[in-house]
Amino acid sequence: MGLGMASAFARAGANVVVMGRSEDKAMDAAAFLSRTAAASGTCFGVAADVRDPDQVSAAFDVAESKVGPISILANNAGGNFPALAEKISTNAWRAISRIAIDGTFIASSEFARRLKGRGAIGSIVNNSAQYIWTGFPGDAHSASAKTAVATMTRSMAREWKADGIRVNCVAAGMFPHEQAAAMGGLDQEVLDTYAGMVPAGRVGQMQEFGWASAFLCSSLAGPISGQVLMIDGGDSLRRSLISPAYVPPRERKEIWGYEA
């Protein structure tokens, strides 16, 4: 998902710095962008753990020394896996919630301090998910974390409105890349299943996620701030009054599935 956003930014002419925990992976992503995204600007990678304010600040220093002042921040860091709430360990809870919630807060507040320090305007886009307004049984850690990201979006937008810092959020539905690892591969049968369960009849294309993110960060979106753009082909909406029998996650064949 991060690469989808980064590709759209690069295609639109931005210099893109990819920040990740692994410097190698961040560099690989940057090289991929340079190769594929028809990037006119610079793309490179830098390492930081978003849970550590000092590392994030240092990464901003490195990034700004190479491309100049950063004016757009895309918060994409997050993890997810199917889990029964009563089986989520302290470590698992901390990993998912702190990467998404603390990470978004730490990176955003660092970014805002820098912008305010030099009197510059800027834009933030946060990556969230389609299940944030309904909850998601079998995903207590990420469902709560992703909703926190969406509600923080509103609060930060209000707080920094006078400073010209816009904060928006894209809540994505089924874009198979993200779910692939957790749901066991990406063969055609799995893709067809995903496509069939979404009201729109297909999964999302990564470019569509990128366009939404780039649009919100662009000057076309002028004063638009504090918004959560749901892009899910209708997946998050109720689809019937009568549903298949409810099976609790613990009794399902797969925790994120439907069948017993």
Site residues (CB under 8 A) for another protein?
154, 157-158, 161, 173, 198-202, 204-205, 208, 211-212, 215, 220-234, 236-239
Q: How far is the CB of 129 from another protein (least distance, A)?
A: 14
Paired tokens of 120: 């510059």
Sequence letter at residue 217: C
Q: How far is the CB of 228 from another protein (least distance, A)?
A: 8
At residue 11, the 3 state secondary structure works out as helix
Give the CA angle between residues 210, 159, 50 to the nearest 5°. Answer: 55
Q: How far is the CB of 12 from another protein (least distance, A)?
A: 10
Minimum CB distance to another protein smaller for 45 or for 233: 233
Minimum CB distance to another protein smaller for 210 or for 249: 210
Paired tokens of 186: 């990406």
8-state DSSP, 25:
H
Among the listed residues 129, 107, 128, 84, the one whose alpha carbon sits nearest the alpha carbon of residue 21: 107
Q: How far is the CB of 184 from another protein (least distance, A)?
A: 24
Minimum CB distance to another protein smaller for 71 or for 227: 227
Minimum CB distance to another protein smaller for 50 or for 72: 72
The whole-angstrom separation of Cα 197 and Cα 192 is 9
Minimum CB distance to another protein smaller for 197 or for 260: 197
Give 134's contacts (C-beta < 8 A, 6+ positions apart).
Answer: 236
The whole-angstrom separation of Cα 153 and Cα 132 is 13
Q: How far is the CB of 230 from another protein (least distance, A)?
A: 4
8-state DSSP, 83:
B
